[in-house]
Amino acid sequence: MPPHDHPLWRPYTQMKTAAPPLEAVRTQGSRITLADGRELVDGIASWWTAVHGYNHPHIAAAVARQLEAMPHVMFGGLTHAPAEQLARRLAALLPKGLDHVFFTDSGSVAVEVALKMAVQMWRNRGVAGRTRFLAFRGGYHGDTMGAMSVCDPDEGMHRRLGGYLPRQIVCDLPRSPAEASALDGTMAAHRETLAAVIVEPLVQGAGGMRMHPPETLAEIGRLARRHGLPLIADEIFTGFGRTGSLFACEQAGLVPDILCLSKALTGGTMALAATVATGEVFEAFWSDDPGAALMHGPTFMANPLACAAANASLDLFAGEPRLDQAGAIAARLAEGLAPLSRLPGVRDVRVLGAIGVVQFVRPPDLAALKQRFVERGTWVRPFGDIVYLTPALTIGTLDLDHLLESVRGVVHETLSA
């Protein structure tokens, strides 16, 4: 019988067998303090959100001011300066053409909105039957229904929900010009039923930290354009400096039709997401017919506290050398992880921006690995067959070296066990 005295149900967790979670009581910079007084150097930045480190005073002050003035107000029929300002700033920072910003409260919902935008765009234009999506194996786009349907259907974590989800067209990411022609054929075969193509630019995050070169991304963009298919770029993981540029699409010179943001949008302080569309997409909803409007509107849409945090986070990107810091982290990760690539049990070591990945030949005992990292005073969360680091872009050299030392140590221990 399961216990009845503990009401918390935890994320992605087998409640029967998982080790109990550690209790965190404080964060600061790149450190997490536990209830028992231990301090961990954070290698994950809380699921890639805390790009400026924890408790950045500039963000904290902005949120505190907003809390005094107006913590929340409904977004139907009302607007407010934090949202107006944030929409303008995002449109100015994103690749040219992405000018229409729709706020929601989580990455999965930003993806849902992107999918709805694409489907309804075709309906509004009077084109019937375009309700499916072309997605890529190894992809991860979130945990809600539409988002789950465009994740990897076989290796992804939602495979038990198969019969419940809409069936999409799932392809391999091309690795060469020859493979790109296979994708060309698939697009040609399905174009009449496809609403859009969805991709995580440059790196598939939660699906296994798989990377592809900018040329591949540019080729996917070219093929989609050739077949008249809108492209949705899910930059929820890659946005805000993680891959070394502010947005990953920039590296391929790609302007998607729809782009999703969340994770680091508020600098890791608050739930907020955005789906940003080009004028061409927006135009399909511009009508005298109320039924042609985009039918979405979360209760906490454009929450003023979250928008204030996001504006403060953008101030930091403007005023502090975050992209240079990402570049410096990339160099240190490459140097620090390189020795592991020679080990027989290691399949691959790869780095892109502030993302460093070690992939094992065989999936390791994840619970044991997680425990070893904590024993070394670090917070690192391996999954599948990989150990990875995605630290805050502001992490100090000593803390980063501690993380690298800890990864090298744990990988060695794992392979010699």
Ligand X SMILES: *Cc1c(COP(=O)(O)O)cnc(C)c1O
Residues forming the active site:
12, 140, 234, 263
Contact 194, 183 (CB under 8 A): no
Name, in order, each residue with C-beta under 8 angstroms of 164's C-beta and a sequence gap of 6 or more: 145
Which member of 98, 117, 195, 236 binds ligand X (CB under 6 A)? 236
Chain positions 68 to 127 lying near ligand X, rule: CB under 6 A, are 106-108, 111
Render 223-281 in DSSP notation, one character per residue.
HHHHTT--EEEE-TTTTTTTTSSSSGGGGGT---SEEEE-GGGGTTSS--EEEEEEHHH
Bridge partners of residue 103, in order along the sequence: 274
Give the one residue of 80, 100, 141, 376 binding ligand X; rule: CB under 6 A. Answer: 141
When binding is defined by CB under 6 A, the residue of 103, 133, 140, 240 that contacts ligand X is: 140
Pick out residues in 302-321 that bind ligand X (CB under 6 A). Answer: none
> CB of 289 within 8 A of CB of 360?
no
Among 54, 122, 136, 237, binds ligand X (CB under 6 A): 237
Whole-angstrom Cα distance, residue 30 to residue 181? Answer: 44
CB of 48 to ligand X, least distance (A): 7
- Is 88 marked as binding a ligand? no
Question: Candidates 198-206, 215-223, 304-312, 352-360 — which segment interacts with ligand X by CB under 6 A?
Answer: 198-206
Q: 361 CB contacts (<8 Å, ≥6 apart)?
A: 344, 345, 346, 347, 385
Residue listed under structure tokens 């991304």: 217
Half-sphere exposure of 233 (CA within 13 A, CB side): 28
Minimum CB separation of residue 142 from ligand X in Å reads: 4
Our CB check for ligand X shows the closer of 56 and 141 to be 141
Q: C-alpha angle 8/13/16, rounded to 5°?
A: 80
Whats the size of the chain, residue-wise?
A: 417
| Contacting residue, 43, 82, 138, 142, with ligand X by CB under 6 A | 142
**Is 137 buried (19+), middle (13-18) or exposed (0-12) by CB count in 10 A?**
middle
Residues 16-35 that bind ligand X (CB under 6 A): none
Choice from 112, 152, 200, 257 touching ligand X (CB under 6 A)? 200
47 marked as binding residue: yes
Q: Find out whether 263 is annotated in a ligand binding site.
A: yes
Please, what is the minimum distance in Å from the beta carbon of residue 238 to ligand X? Answer: 7
Question: By rule CB under 6 A, what count of residues binds ligand X?
Answer: 16
Whether residue 172 is annotated as binding a ligand: the answer is no
Q: Does 206 bind ligand X (CB under 6 A)?
A: yes
> Does residue 205 belong to the site contacting ligand X (CB under 6 A)?
yes
Residue 140 is assigned to a ligand binding site:
yes
Does 16 show up as a binding residue in the annotation?
no
Instruction: Report DSSP letters for 157-213, one per residue.
Output: TTGGGGGGSPP-EEEPPP-SHHHHHHHHHHHHHHTTTEEEEEE-SSEETTTT-EE--
Residue span binding ligand X (CB under 6 A) among the ranges 136-144, 176-184, 299-307, 395-403: 136-144
Residue 297 in marked binding region:
yes
DSSP one-letter string for 33-99: EETTS-EEEESSHHHHT-TT-BT-HHHHHHHHHHHHH-S----SS---HHHHHHHHHHHHHSSTTEE
Specify the stretch interacting with ligand X by CB under 6 A; choose among 209-217, 231-239, 340-348, 363-371: 231-239
Whether residue 48 is annotated as binding a ligand: the answer is no
Is 198 a binding residue for ligand X by CB under 6 A? The answer is no
Q: Residue 106 or residue 359: which is nearer to ligand X going by CB?
A: 106
Which residues participate in the annotated binding site? Answer: 47, 107-108, 140, 234, 263, 297-299, 381
Residues at the contact surface with ligand X, assessed by CB under 6 A: 106-108, 111, 140-143, 200, 205-206, 234, 236-237, 262-263
